[in-house]
């Protein structure tokens, strides 16, 4: 019994090491002083962070990614929330169809979605423009908002809305004063998911970026393929910190939400 338990603990420890190791290594390498990828680094320094923050070549894609992600957040949160609220009011058959449609970008392989979008958008001259990227990323981000808000709505007591309506509130007044405040954690978590989805997205960007709208993941991709330099480790570390903080916030928000669909790690 205890032997089996010890064995399990050791095995799990090793697997967790396997999970954490790559991330830790990237973070360590980003502080390396060497000009090529080597581990362990010969010495430590901020050299590659300086290289990143002084290079217009890196900062421009960063700003574009942040800007695109911000627009995606606004669009996807708006559309995803409306969809989640509106879908409950549809007849059942239509509701199943509509939610399958909205969630489908999660199931369709990214490459299929990417070339589909590329093909469709190329006709309207949207390839290589931030607008094209924003529209494409919004399609991919809406399901996350939709799922998050739907989970919040499922935990909402319908009597609260009925009470507001029977006390003479208009439907829109009820929505803004009762429903929206109650589902706010779900909406905010969805917005954070949407941001991270757009900010980290690469496959669509590979096709849609062209030369005119290079996002940060796209810029990293080019660098990974053509030169091996620790700058990308520094960029990776920065994006890891950013996304982990945002996703952590989303996780906490969903924990606070009235219910969640058994969100990961809920005891």
Partner 1 sequence: MLAFYAVPVLSMLIRSVNDPIWTLSHYASLTGDTVFLKVLSNTLYTSLIVTLGALVLGYPVALSLVRAPRCAPVILILILLPFWTSVLVRSYAWMVLMGRHGLINEALLAADMIDRPLRILNTPLATRIAMIHILLPYMVLPIANALRQIDPSLARASSGLGATPGATFRQITLPLSMPGVAAGMLLVFVLALGFYITPAMLGGPREITLSMLIAQQVDQLNWAYAATLSAVLLATTLAIIAAIYRLPGVGNALRMNAR
| Contacts to partner 1 from residues 203-262, by CB under 8 A | 203, 206-207, 217, 220-221, 224-225, 228, 232-233, 236, 239-240, 243-244, 247-248, 251, 254, 260-262
Distant-in-sequence, close-in-space partners of 28: CB < 8 Å, separation ≥ 6: 39, 40, 41
List the interface residues with partner 1, window 67-126 (CB under 8 A): 79-80, 82-83, 86-87, 90, 98, 101-113, 115-120
Query: Which has the closest alpha carbon to 251: 266, 230, 229, 236?
Result: 266
Return the residues of window 127-146 that contact partner 1 according to CB under 8 A. 135, 138-139, 142-144
Q: Give least dist CB 214 to partner 1, A.
A: 14
Q: Please report where in the chains the tokens 């480790």 appear, as a residue.
A: 233
Instruction: Give the other-Cβ count within 10 Å of 131's Cβ.
Output: 14
**Out of 73, 182, 196, 253, which residue is the one contacting partner 1 (CB under 8 A)?**
196
Q: Which is nearer to partner 1, 24 or 46 (CB)?
A: 24
Count of C-beta atoms within a 10 Å radius of residue 110: 14
Contact indicator for 86, 150 with CB cutoff of 8 Å: no
- Going by C-alpha positions, the residue among 121, 129, 22, 109 that lies closest to residue 67 is 129
Q: How far is CA 93 from CA 8, 89, 90, 98, 101, in A?
A: 47, 12, 8, 9, 13
Q: Which is nearer to partner 1, 80 or 185 (CB)?
A: 80
CB of 112 to partner 1, least distance (A): 4
Binding-site size for partner 1 (CB under 8 A) equals 87
Q: Residue 43 interacts with partner 1 (CB under 8 A)?
A: no
Considering the complex, what minimum distance in angstroms separates the CB of residue 117 from partner 1?
Answer: 5
Looking at the Cβ atoms of 182 and 232, the one nearer to partner 1 is 232
């Amino acid at each position: 019994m205890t032997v089996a338990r010890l064995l399990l603990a050791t095995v799990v420890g090793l697997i967790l090491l396997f999970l954490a190791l790559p991330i830790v290594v990237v973070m360590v390498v980003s502080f390396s002083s060497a000009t090529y990828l080597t581990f362990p680094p010969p010495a430590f320094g901020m050299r590659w962070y300086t290289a990143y923050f002084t290079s217009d070549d890196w900062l421009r894609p960063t700003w574009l990614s942040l800007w695109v992600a911000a627009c995606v957040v606004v669009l996807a949160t708006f559309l995803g929330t409306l969809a989640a609220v509106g879908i409950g009011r549809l007849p059942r058959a239509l509701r199943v169809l509509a939610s399958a449609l909205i969630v489908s970008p999660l199931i369709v392989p990214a490459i299929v979605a990417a070339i589909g979008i590329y093909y469709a958008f190329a006709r309207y001259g949207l390839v290589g423009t931030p607008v094209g990227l924003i529209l494409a990323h919004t399609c991919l981000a809406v399901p996350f908002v939709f799922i998050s808000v739907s989970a919040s709505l499922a935990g909402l007591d319908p009597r609260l809305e009925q009470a507001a309506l029977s006390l003479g509130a208009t439907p829109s007044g009820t929505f803004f004063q009762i429903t929206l405040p109650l589902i706010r954690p779900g909406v905010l978590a969805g917005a954070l998911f949407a941001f991270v989805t757009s900010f980290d997205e690469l496959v669509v960007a590979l096709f849609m970026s062209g030369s005119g709208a290079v996002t940060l993941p796209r810029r990293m991709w080019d660098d990974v393929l053509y030169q091996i330099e620790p700058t990308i480790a520094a960029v990776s570390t920065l994006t890891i910190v950013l996304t982990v903080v945002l996703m952590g916030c989303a996780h906490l928000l969903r924990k606070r939400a009235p219910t969640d669909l058994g969100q990961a790690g809920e005891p």
